Structure 1
């Protein structure tokens, strides 16, 4: 099972100030443990929303682009991991070990696997297309 792990670092993330060396070292160690265990597929930190944009799609209208920062957002995503584990409980156990500081929060969301879409794709054509695209992306790495 794959899980998207979303880090909500709290309001300090919006300042653009990077974590201190100690926290970066602890996070690096944590990430290294996940790599050695074969759990970590990807993971990155994100710049503050002041460097981002949102694109809203109103019904019947054209997409609307809003530049950051996003003051109305109560919980800003600060980074993510993509992990592959046996089950939800294993994902939770890994993330309990995260060297997060006070006020931070992590959300786990299971990623849909292509076979779960079988009822909506009786011919299998859409799942085959997705597999081809994944192979093309992997080949470009």
Structure 2
């Protein structure tokens, strides 16, 4: 099963990282990533750029409203993610507990990634997506 570990941090969490040497942080996260790779569970992992570089497209009104970052109302920001192929949610939780991004202001949300096989296979859009995935080597 695929699970996404969504790395979240508050302003307090980001502030606690301000004085950490970038090379040291890369080494610490790199060692964790290497463990995931050696265990054969890592499918993808990406960090995200600073929220000031992002935008939010709000679809609450008829015409979508675009707001530049940072987002004053956000209490926790999505800073990156891992996608793991593990046997269970419990195994994903165990990997999340080992994350080097710890301390006040850091959280990891774990969500199962649904697969195309969970949708009605006779639906025309699912058939098109399956064909696209097969053509791109994703099935």
TM-score relative to the length of structure 1: 0.82
* SS of equivalent to 2:72: coil
Answering whether residue 134 of structure 2 is matched by residue 132 of structure 1, we say no
**Deviation (angstroms), 1:135:** 3.8
Shift of 1:124: 4.3
Q: How many pairs are equivalent? A: 135
SS at match of 2:87: coil
Structural RMSD (CA): 2.5
CA distance 1:138–1:52, change in 2 (3 Å): farther
Q: Per the alignment, in what secondary structure is the counterpart of residue 70 of structure 1? A: coil
1:84 aligns with 2:92: no
CA distance in structure 2 between the partners assigned to 1:19 and 1:10 by the alignment: 16
How many Å separate the matches in 2 of 1:62 and 1:24?
41
The runs of 4+ residues in structure 1 deviating greater than 4 Å are: 16-19, 136-139
| Cα shift at 1:13 | 3.3
The C-alpha deviation readout for 1:16-57, integer Å capped at 9, x for no partner, is: 959522232111011111112221111111122111000011
TM-score (normalizing by structure 2) = 0.83
Show structure 2 runs of 5+ residues with no match: none
Once residues 67 and 2 of structure 2 are traced to their aligned partners in structure 1, the CA distance between those partners, rounded to angstroms, is: 31
The answer to whether residue 46 in structure 2 is matched with residue 44 in structure 1 is yes
Name the structure 1 match of 2:72.
Answer: 71
